[in-house]
Structure formats: C-alpha cells, structure tokens
Chain A
C-alpha cells in the first residue's frame, strides 16, 4: 500500500491527485490551511477507497510549525512513498509592484515555504533511502514575464532548488519530480478567460501520478508546454523586452 503525503491538499490539482491515489487504496496524510475543507476532502477520499486518511492543519508561512507536521506525518505513515508539495497562490502582479510587503509575502508562500519544507523532508528521505518528492512548480518559472514575474521568480526558485535536490538525492534512490503545469482551470485562475491551452486539474493529476510511478524528472503538463517554453526561453532579450507576455 502506498503512503502519500500531500502539502496544500485543498488545491484543485492536489485534490485530483489524491483521488487517484485513494482509488488505489493508498494511505494519505493531508496538510492544508483550511481544516474544515480538509475534513470534507478526507471524507471523500475515504469513500473513494483510501485505506486511511490523516489530516493536519498548517499555514505554510508559519515556518516554525513545519517540523511538527512533518514529524507527525512520518510517525503516522511510518514512511512516505510519495510527497506532493502543491500549495501556492497566484499573486496579483500589480499589487506586488506597489507593495514590497505583498511581494515578499507572496514569494514566501510560493518559494520560501516550499524550500523550507523540502529541506526538512529531504533529511527524512535521505534516511529512508527511497521515495518520490514531487513538487509543483510552473511554466511561469521558466522565464520572468511582465504579467506575473513575482510568481514566475518564486517558481524559478522552486525549479532550481528541485533540480539541485534531484542531483543530491539521485544516488540515494530518491527521485525528485518537478511538475510544470501550464494554464489549469482551478479556483486559483477563476477570473481568467479560458482558451484552448487550458487543462483540467484531472489531466494534470494523471500526469503527476504517472511521473511519480515512472521516476520522471521534469514534466511539462500537458506536454505541449515543453516546445512552447523552449521557444519562450530562447527568444533573445532585445526582442523579448519589446513583446507583451
């Protein structure tokens, strides 16, 4: 039976992923800020076949609280086969441009907290010598764009951190999976006009589980984002600064 720890378990992508693991009968440990929504999701996952669902409330920006939750997860699950770090927000770029406080808080939510969690959990995986650390970054982290570069820079930090961690953990038999979703139709992107590039949380979730099963390294989800981002990364700056993205 798989043992899966999910941080940010009330996010749409995380919930969809948890359902896939629940259908396999996995044991789950869910972490999120909103305890009442966590309770609803835990009940749903039990009905869907999860052997056991544990839950713990956590505000990821409360860095001092991380250790206790991680300890609890390892205590209750015994070991962790897969951890999915999925929490995040989509900051308003305009606000981040006028308020240093907002910019740093959003960076903390999307990058600092993730780095703290990954660092603490890496020690556990190092001792365990097996498992998958899956972390949700974003295509936005591949290049800073004027429309959301605070979010982009936070995700760039996560991607770079995960890349280094992957190298470090590879020889220990622990795989680090970086997930880079494109546009996903979730409550986080409620106010966007949706077009052909938009994916459903279910599609991303299936990709995550597949990637974790097969020991993949970096996944663009859906995969058509790989060539798109390849192009975007290679546009020369003198052109890039003249276009709107």
Chain B
C-alpha cells in the first residue's frame, strides 16, 4: 500500500510504501528500494520519512516481554509506546528514566533519536538507560547489543536514526517513584541572565528543569520567560490532583496557521503574566507536567496546511549566554517563531550514541509556522550562529538543515555510515549526505 505520509511537523510530504511488522521473530519483509523503520511518527521533520521507499511500521510490534517490579527492569518490543509503559509501571511505583515532551513515542523511536528530557542534567539521554536491544539487519542477522556486547553496534544504533537496522526489542532500566505526583516551582525571569542564574541554582536539587521563553519579546523583555523546576513528590503530597480527564482535540486543519506575529505576541504576553507572583509552588500529576501538549489531540494542525518546522539547537557552555542572546534576538526581530519555545541546560552525562544530539551546553527548541522562503532563510541564519559557536542541531526535529551543517555538527557521521544497513535509508539521510 503506497500512501502519502507526513511527520509530526506536517512538512515535508513523502510518498512511501508501508509494511506493518507485528512478529519480532520473523525475517524482514521483502521490499524494493530502501526501507526505514517507523515508530509512531512523532519526529518533526524528515528523519522518519523515506520518500519513494518503504516504511517498516513497527508500532504493531507492541508486546511487553518481561517486567520485574522489584528491580524496575522492563523488556518490551520496540513498538511499545511510552504511554503504554507509564500505564503499566506507574501504579507499580516506577517511571521512565528519561522522557521527551510527548508520551506518544515508541521505544524504538526513543532509541533511534536518543531522546532527552527535562532531567538531562541528572540522567543523560534515554540511551543511557537501555540495558540491551536486538538489532535485525536486512541480511537476516540478529545482534544482541549492549554496552558490553557488540558495543560498536550499540553506539551506532542509539541515536542512529533507524538506519542501522530494525530494533526489535529492548531492555530498559526504569526509575523508582513514590507516586504519580510532581512537586515543583515556577519562577518568572526577566531575561536570559535570569534563566542561567535559576538553572545554575536548581540543577543540583531538582531532577527536572526547563524554561519557557517568550521569543516574541524584544528590547528590555528580551529572553524573559518562566522557569520550571520539579521533583517526583513523596508518596503522600498535601494535594493530589488527578490526571486531566478532559481530552481536547484540534478537529480539523485550519486554512491558515493560527500562529502569526499578532496572535503570538498576545499569547506570549498572556502566558508570561499567568502567575501574579514571581514564584509559585505547585503539586501536579505527572501528565500535565511532562506532557502538556498530549492533552490536545492533533495540536500540530494549528499551523495550517503548510505545517511547521521545529528548530532545536544547542551551544556549548562557554558560549551559551552570549550565543543564546544572539539567537533569541534574531528570532524576536524576525517576528516568526511560536508560542512553544523551550530553553534548557544539558548536563555533562555523555550520550552513548555516535550521532546522539545532546552534549553539554544550553539547548533552545521552538516551532516556526512554515512560511516558505522567509522561514528557511531565518533558520539558515540561526544555523550560521550555531555553527560559528560550535553547536549542533537536532536531526529528529529537522526538515531543512544543509548537509554541510549536519556534517559540521556531527563529525562522527562518516564513521557512523559504515554501520548503516545497505538496504536502509531515509529522506533525512539522503538530504544531508548526498
């Protein structure tokens, strides 16, 4: 079955044949051209697309294999969603060791992109908690990979964008929790200095830190935002709010993006002033804390039929403050960008993958409604700033970075390419290497 497919950013469009895989012991199906494993399609750009080729739909490989509630070791097939893991393990006192901002990602996708979360400064990337996995190659071989067994394949596959073969199963180490609640604080900050001060002061005592910034505000409000820091709450916190039960959904794609310079300014100003005090304390259920957008189904539709591009970059610690200021100034001046802008400081835990994105420094992520050439030109300007400062851009969120930039950001790409399955490829990989 050949279908037109999209990634989460709804840009670009790709045509590909889809083959579902539901038996992890079976050989890879026969396909013509190249194939790419595809989880739940939550990557933003074209790293989960394979235009003109085949997608191996792995979401249907969704069985648990074993779970030990005493040690928190979970073994499951690669198509299991984080949301399914949480439903199973939270009531038994365990939590994902690392989670991105959506729980609708598969374990295989989390490995292939070596995802990170708000606890990067403590826990590193998701790959740091993968104890082992099985890699199935198109030549029929199966490798059990771990940091000790086939370590080179383990390192290539973590963050390997699905190109090294199909991950069929994985064993991960979960993290103990006392209950489903989080306790934390929200601090308003007036500028980027304020962010870096708060981040410095919080990283030791708080497991989860992240900031929202107002990327539309220039001048004296440049880099203002709200810093959130939180820990898993003890077993019986004073207040125990439930997970939000009301599920909203964007019912259709509006003809134009609802995010434009005018609505953006209004939204951002409202959000910045949502709390009257400069500090507020809160106890909340883990769901709204980790996954605020998962409560709104198909939220990516708000950007209209042309979709959007997400841009996530990082800059090394020495240049963080100055470089972030330049980036935010450039974005604010452009009037583009979106409500969803996130700033975080990564920690020093080494990422286990050859092509893993996270490394020490500060990372900025934001959405841009796709306005064609003007958006692409802005992102190219941002690339120049990031590259000049020795930073990198996150492939999982990218639909446009030039090949020379990718190669500059990920110097290991050439040694990595030896591990690519000869029958596997992706739209992203062809775009940045050919």
What are 11 A-B residue pairs whose CB atoms fall within 8 Å in the complex? A36-B25, A40-B24, A40-B25, A43-B63, A43-B66, A44-B65, A47-B76, A48-B64, A187-B22, A187-B60, A190-B1
Partner among B20, B25, B64 whose Cβ is within 8 Å of the Cβ of A187: B20
B67 close to chain A: CB less than 8 A: yes
Bin chain B's interface residue count.
10 to 19
Q: Given A191-B1, A193-B1 in contact, is the A47-B67 Cβ separation under 8 Å?
A: yes
B23 close to chain A: CB less than 8 A: yes
A116 to chain B, nearest CB (A): 28
A43, A44, A47: most-surrounded residue (chain B CB, <10 A):
A47
Q: Chain B 231-258, CB within 8 Å of chain A: the 1/0 string?
A: 0000000000000000000000000000
B412 close to chain A: CB less than 8 A: no
Complex: A44 Cα to B63 Cα, angstroms: 5
Q: Given A48-B88, A191-B1, A193-B1 in contact, is the A37-B23 Cβ separation under 8 Å?
A: yes
Chain A residues with Cβ below 8 Å from B63 are 40-41, 43-44
Contact indicator B64/A44 (Cβ below 8 Å): yes
Q: Chain A 43-54, CB within 8 Å of chain B: the 1/0 string?
A: 110011000000
Complex: A124 Cα to B24 Cα, angstroms: 37
B104 to chain A, nearest CB (A): 15
A40, A187, A190, A191: most-surrounded residue (chain B CB, <10 A):
A40
12 A-B pairs besides A40-B24, A41-B63, A44-B64 with CB distance below 8 A are A40-B25, A43-B63, A43-B65, A44-B65, A47-B65, A47-B66, A47-B67, A47-B76, A48-B88, A187-B20, A187-B22, A190-B20
Complex: A41 Cα to B64 Cα, angstroms: 8
Bin chain A's interface residue count.
10 to 19
A231 to chain B, nearest CB (A): 27
A57 to chain B, nearest CB (A): 16
Complex: A36 Cα to B25 Cα, angstroms: 9
**A-contacting residues, B259-287, CB 8 Å:** none
Complex: A190 Cα to B17 Cα, angstroms: 12
Chain B residues with Cβ below 8 Å from A40 are 23-25, 63, 65
**B-contacting residues, A188-240, CB 8 Å:** 190-191, 193
Closest B-chain residue to A201, C-beta based? B60
Chain A residues with Cβ below 8 Å from B22 are 187
Chain A residues with Cβ below 8 Å from B25 are 36, 40
Complex: A160 Cα to B139 Cα, angstroms: 50
Closest A-chain residue to B92, C-beta based? A49
A235 to chain B, nearest CB (A): 30
Chain A residues with Cβ below 8 Å from B65 are 40, 43-44, 47
Closest CB pairs A-B (n = 4): A47-B64, A44-B63, A47-B67, A44-B64
A89 to chain B, nearest CB (A): 16
**B-contacting residues, A23-67, CB 8 Å:** 36-37, 40-41, 43-44, 47-48
Closest A-chain residue to B61, C-beta based? A40
Complex: A133 Cα to B57 Cα, angstroms: 34
Chain B residues with Cβ below 8 Å from A37 are 23
Complex: A44 Cα to B74 Cα, angstroms: 11
Partner among A36, A47, A191, A193 whose Cβ is within 8 Å of the Cβ of B88: A47
Chain A residues with Cβ below 8 Å from B24 are 40
Chain A residues with Cβ below 8 Å from B20 are 187, 190
Complex: A38 Cα to B64 Cα, angstroms: 13
Chain B residues with Cβ below 8 Å from A44 are 63-65
**A-contacting residues, B62-121, CB 8 Å:** 63-67, 76, 88
Contact indicator A43/B64 (Cβ below 8 Å): yes
Chain B residues with Cβ below 8 Å from A190 are 1, 20
Complex: A187 Cα to B76 Cα, angstroms: 21
B70 to chain A, nearest CB (A): 14
Closest B-chain residue to A190, C-beta based? B20
**B-contacting residues, A71-88, CB 8 Å:** none
**B-contacting residues, A96-140, CB 8 Å:** none
Complex: A47 Cα to B25 Cα, angstroms: 19
Closest A-chain residue to B25, C-beta based? A36
**A-contacting residues, B323-372, CB 8 Å:** none
B63, B66, B67: most-surrounded residue (chain A CB, <10 A):
B63
Closest A-chain residue to B87, C-beta based? A23
**A-contacting residues, B1-32, CB 8 Å:** 1, 20, 22-25
Complex: A36 Cα to B63 Cα, angstroms: 13
Complex: A44 Cα to B67 Cα, angstroms: 9
Complex: A40 Cα to B80 Cα, angstroms: 14
Complex: A120 Cα to B1 Cα, angstroms: 41
Closest B-chain residue to A41, C-beta based? B63
